Amino acid sequence: MKVFTVIAMLFQVALSLLAQTEVSKPGITRIWHRSNGDVSVRFDGIMPHEPAFIGEDKMRARLQLLNTASVPIFVRAFDLSQSENDRALLHDVFEGEQCRQALSSKRNDRPDGALAIGYSRLHTSSIMEIQPGKSLEFSVPLDHLSTGRCVRVSYWIENARAPVSEDGYRFLWLGPSR
């Protein structure tokens, strides 16, 4: 019985140490974005959310994608839950030089080296249409927007059918501003 009590106490100590080592991440206060001028992004804050995939952050940046073009734009998205407006856009995650280039006028919209944590490899998604002047709510896991990382979202204009080649896409880049 005494051994059981000692084991229970050690387990409680281990749990409390584990809880203390979980460090809160610095909050994102703004998001920078670059595009062809067809879209804009509004940052609506940070929210807790169950991870969509194993290993993802439990916090997500809430965003709105605004169509500033005079024609409809289209993106690929998937629902995170059955709640209305709880969705993610398919995207690639980059870090380092690709993100620095995305901030410059010499950005490369088709770089190599995307990290394996983005959603662009998903096979199941829906095409979402955003009319001119309208917006679409979505979220991104905070670990996809951590320091030194950025996200690239593909979109296209005018036709609901997805382009058959990379040349038909336009790109929105997002990154954290602290």
Give the residue with greater pLDDT, 27 vs 68: 68
Q: Which two tokens stand for residue 121?
A: 């490899």
Measure the CA–CA gap between 63 and 31, rounded to whole angstroms.
Answer: 9
Whole-structure pTM over 0.85, yes or no? no
Could you tell me the pLDDT band of residue 2, with boundaries at 50, 70 and 90?
low
pLDDT tens column, 61-95:
999 999 999 999 999 999 888 888 889 999 999 99
| Phi, psi torsion values for 120, nearest 5 degrees | -65, -20
Write the single-letter amino acid at 59.
M
Give the ranges where the chain is alpha helix by DSSP (H).
2-21, 97-103
Give the residue with greater pLDDT, 101 vs 155: 155
pLDDT at 135: 96
Contacts of 102 (CB under 8 A, 6+ apart): 34, 94, 150, 152, 173, 175
**pLDDT averaged over every residue in the chain:** 82
